[in-house]
Amino acid sequence: MFLRFPTTSSGPNPGSRRRLRRTRTAMLGAATISLALVTACGTAQTSLTDEDAVDFGPTKCPSGELKGAGSTAQHNAIDQVAATYMKVCDERSTIRYEAASNTDGVSAFLAGTADWAGTEVPLTDAQQTAAKARCTAGEAVSLPMVATSVAVAANLPGVEQLTLSAPALGQILDGRITRWNDPALAALNPGAALPDAQIRVLAREDANGLATGLTRYLADHDAWPTDKVGEEWTGTGEKLGRAGVLSALRGTPHTLGYVEFSAARDNGLSVARIDSGTGPVALTEDSAAKGLANAELTDTDGQVRLTPKSRDAAAGAYPIQIVSYQVVCTNGLSPRAKTVLLKDFLGFLASDPQQATLGELGYTPLPQPARAAVRDAIARLG
């Protein structure tokens, strides 16, 4: 999806500033809707230093145009934040994101046809070396900025709430459990009217981080071979594009597939509860946040990594999480104004108000330590 807003040649006008200040005053008096919070954030930038602005969002609202490409899992998040950023900045800039695949996004970034890439897999050593030519005055860094849960969705008429365990889900996805009324599923769903019907498994035909997150979770619970964990689907089922998976889950009974939480919510899909051994956990904003809370955070020379851990999660934590990285040049985009705009936009994306807004969309706000590490890395761009 491409978002295009008109570009103007001037900054926010005085009337806009007065309106935004009034919004900020109201916000401090009481909790308001997220758009008011975002608007307040924009106002604050007129008096903050550059260092402070990394915490709260755009400070200069520079003009220009950016194009990102890559991960489909994060595209709803990037579209929303880009639209809000451009509105807060009085449409001075145009920010577009083309949702394709991790591989396509990284390839476009390395080829210079995209200003940044979205991917669930940080750059490999070979890609990092190739990026030195791309980032002529710097290097490429991978920053975790959007997180989401992998929703296991099912279209199962007559069953209000399906529960799956890691072993049962693994056996469905590798073809050993083929019917909905299998005894293993009946044991997990006592009293449910499971039909005597074949399970139609739907998988993504493109390489994507959802497959990685799902198979990694299963492997962590000894329900999937570790050598088959990855972006390419290695299990059973019918392979479709993202739109095809969503369409089939909406309209075809007895189907099961995996999608990002925001897409499941947008399409009104029924999402299975996951039992990792401590009881079934429904996928909600709160359970997703608990599931990401124990992710491992590392920061080495500006390369920030946030690795979800499905084992030893807290009670009530949804265990299947993925993290999308923004791959950017620390410097070297041409013209240089692109780096200035990208730094401003990424600071906005990493801000507390925008991370909270992502939570409302079905994404998972980054834990505060991760936000701090990412903001530090953003501050060093340019």
Confidence of residue 46 (pLDDT cuts 50, 70, 90): very low
CA distance 276 to 170: 12
Q: What are phi and psi of 133, to 5 degrees?
A: -75, -30
pLDDT given for residue 59 in this prediction: 64
CA distance 28 to 13: 23
- Span 70-77, average pLDDT: 94
- Span 336-348, average pLDDT: 94
Residues 283-309: tens digit of each pLDDT: 999 999 999 999 999 999 889 999 999
pLDDT given for residue 153 in this prediction: 98
Helices (H) and strands (E) counted in the chain, each on its own, are 15, 14
- Using DSSP, state whether 352 is helix, strand or coil: helix
**Strands (DSSP E) found in the chain:** 64-70, 93-99, 116-119, 140-155, 163-165, 200-204, 238-240, 255-260, 273-275, 280-281, 296-300, 303-307, 321-329, 363-364
- Among 310, 293, 320, 19, CA closest to 153: 320
- Span 61-78, average pLDDT: 95
Tokens of 81: 């934040």
Q: What are phi and psi of 98, to 5 degrees?
A: -100, 110
Arithmetic mean of pLDDT over the chain:
86
Confidence of residue 35 (pLDDT cuts 50, 70, 90): very low
Contact call for residues 36 and 26 (beta carbons, < 8 A): yes
- Span 231-241, average pLDDT: 96
Q: Say which residues have a Cβ less than 8 Å from residue 243's Cβ, sequence separation at least 6.
A: none
- Among 268, 283, 380, 341, CA closest to 92: 341
- Span 39-61, average pLDDT: 45
Tokens of 281: 């956990």
Residue keyed to tokens 């290097």: 139
pLDDT given for residue 54 in this prediction: 41
Q: Which amino acid is at 176?
A: R
- Span 216-229, average pLDDT: 96
Residues 84-140: tens digit of each pLDDT: 999 999 999 999 999 999 999 999 999 999 999 999 999 999 999 999 999 988 999
pLDDT given for residue 58 in this prediction: 61
- Span 268-284, average pLDDT: 96
For a pLDDT cut of 70, what percent of the chain falls above it? 85
Q: What are phi and psi of 125, to 5 degrees?
A: -60, -40
